[in-house]
A and B are shown apart, each in its own frame.
Chain A
């Protein structure tokens, strides 16, 4: 039963960028799974390895310098990392689609938006150009743009509209998995609300699964079923939305929540995480967060923390929990 619901299983994924004189450990031993129709939120700061993880799922790691050192990415039981270029081009856009952060640069300025949507349809479906263009128009309507505008060029659209076009391209072939990499970061708040609303509705309508990459915990709270928090290439905590937001366990997750202004108490002072993200070419042997962690024990920096199971689907990598009775300051929220 459980097997049938599984869409994606990422297991021990490790990706390095091997440069001439140094190696960037971009993704370190990342494992997670995603069920059909669910949304996973991947949170973390710049350089945490979120986008590299997403690119690995599409087998799009730039090589060189990217090297997949270890691990598998199974999409419906098939390891995409073993597929050749030809097989991948059937999977990309058809089974898995990706939306990139910047809608301004992800469209081709010299083709009409209709052509760009039709292109992806023609690659994956046996239709002629005319039919594909008709379907492209229907896709535009789906994302809330009048079909007539299919004849226009990207520069005639605003930022929010361009992102809708990108969504239309991504969804044109009903993918089972949509990877959205910071889809609303470049947009204004009211437009962001429109686009997120659209994505939620489309997800429900087509029953597809989604991986949403973002640094905004507010967007995660509204959109996701499961959450994985990344830091320096690792997933340091994962679980359901409720487990992460109401029963956070990792000191970094706590730090992220504390860094945000509290909307209910505007005078409360922010509690930033001290220091900076470690250099990904010189990661410590143990926990990468230890140098910034208020709970760090003397040996944290030398001992790689194991993933501890906190019940349900809730896992956290933190050595402090080896001590009986340890708890971060953030209190659990009971609903």
Chain B
């Protein structure tokens, strides 16, 4: 029996704008097993961050259910939700703006511990902070430093230590390495991997960097304009991408190896507006293999192979 930690069912988030409803997340469903990593990839504005925030109810979803560890989070009151957030933590992209500039490392890491009343007593809290600093690879001498004294990699380690301080089950990593240099990026990715092995964490890894998500995830979901267009185990997705958008996305990765040659699929145009979407395939305008069905209605997500879901009319009727 699989051990499902998180199930998201028909999650929707529409923002009201003066021109109509902006479909940021539109009917997204997925599950994650305990101890696994789900990568969510897509371009800016595809709804990947909004999905992450809706799961924690940092943004209230318009509709849909989020079932975390057997509990339906969407039914909880604000007070109950606050308790539940102890088990779901988030690491933000920008380690420069996600830390309070007036808090020392000690205060920043201790804050969630104090807020959640996990440990009492200054000495005990400090001991726990030092433990966490060691876990994420921050030197003890930095305990009284302020964020501006530290570089991006170290700041991101503080963010990770804060997330770990409450012993969460699920961590949503929203572009955790995008703002970092490659050599530092690799350090942070390895740290996140080690923590997963050691603490049995489950991750949702939101990123636009496909080579990072390939390295890091068990399953990958590709989003386009609020919709999940394809979802498959990482290996399967890279070996056998089906949706035209996924194919284009994969072919656009610049590979630092001169032996690697591939046909590049150049997409026309840019991501279209997510406001007042008609009932047709959202990718149609940029698609290089449209068919007559695309105008008709929006394609459904179908399981084309075991665990490989695609939402494209080309695969209608190929249900596994």
Residue interface bits B234-268, CB-to-A below 8 A is 1, else 0: 11001000000000110111111111100010110
Q: How far is the CA of A61 from the CA of B21 in the complex (A)?
A: 48
One of A190, A196, A260, A261 near B267 (C-beta < 8 A): A190
Kindly list chain A residues whose C-beta atoms are within 8 Å of the C-beta of B153: 276
> A217 contacts B256, CB within 8 Å?
yes
**What is the distance, in angstroms, from A163's C-beta to the closest C-beta of chain B?**
11
Given known A-B contacts A190-B252, A276-B151, A245 and B183 have beta carbons under 8 A apart: no
Kindly list chain B residues whose C-beta atoms are within 8 Å of the C-beta of A272: 183-187, 190
Q: How far is the CA of A258 from the CA of B190 in the complex (A)?
A: 13
A259 at the interface (CB under 8 A from B): yes
> B210 contacts A218, CB within 8 Å?
no
Residue interface bits A191-223, CB-to-B below 8 A is 1, else 0: 111101100000000000000000111111110
> B255 contacts A221, CB within 8 Å?
yes
> A161 contacts B270, CB within 8 Å?
yes
B215 at the interface (CB under 8 A from A): yes
B304 at the interface (CB under 8 A from A): no
Kindly list chain B residues whose C-beta atoms are within 8 Å of the C-beta of A161: 270
One of A46, A258, A268 near B181 (C-beta < 8 A): A46
Kindly list chain B residues whose C-beta atoms are within 8 Å of the C-beta of A130: none
Kindly list chain A residues whose C-beta atoms are within 8 Å of the C-beta of B255: 218, 221, 263
> B210 contacts A189, CB within 8 Å?
yes
Residue interface bits A242-260, CB-to-B below 8 A is 1, else 0: 1001100000000111111
- In this complex, what residue of B is CB-closest to A198? B266
> A194 contacts B266, CB within 8 Å?
yes
Interface residues of A, count at CB 8 A = 49
B43 at the interface (CB under 8 A from A): yes
B44 at the interface (CB under 8 A from A): yes
Q: How far is the CA of A270 from the CA of B141 in the complex (A)?
A: 27
- Which of A189, A197, A273: most chain B CB closer than 10 A? A189
Q: Would you list which residues of chain B between 169 and 190 have a CB under 8 Å from chain A?
A: 181-187, 189-190
- In this complex, what residue of B is CB-closest to A261? B215
> B183 contacts A257, CB within 8 Å?
no
> A45 contacts B181, CB within 8 Å?
yes
- In this complex, what residue of A is CB-closest to B153? A276
A155 at the interface (CB under 8 A from B): no
B212 at the interface (CB under 8 A from A): yes
- In this complex, what residue of A is CB-closest to B194? A269
Q: A190-B248, A246-B258, A266-B234 are in contact. List 6 more A-B contacts (CB 8 A).
A: A45-B181, A190-B249, A190-B252, A221-B255, A272-B185, A273-B186
A selection of 24 A-B contacts at a CB cut-off of 8 Å is: A158-B270, A188-B44, A189-B249, A190-B248, A190-B249, A190-B252, A190-B267, A191-B43, A193-B251, A194-B266, A197-B266, A215-B181, A216-B254, A218-B256, A221-B256, A245-B256, A261-B214, A263-B253, A266-B215, A266-B238, A269-B193, A272-B183, A277-B181, A333-B258
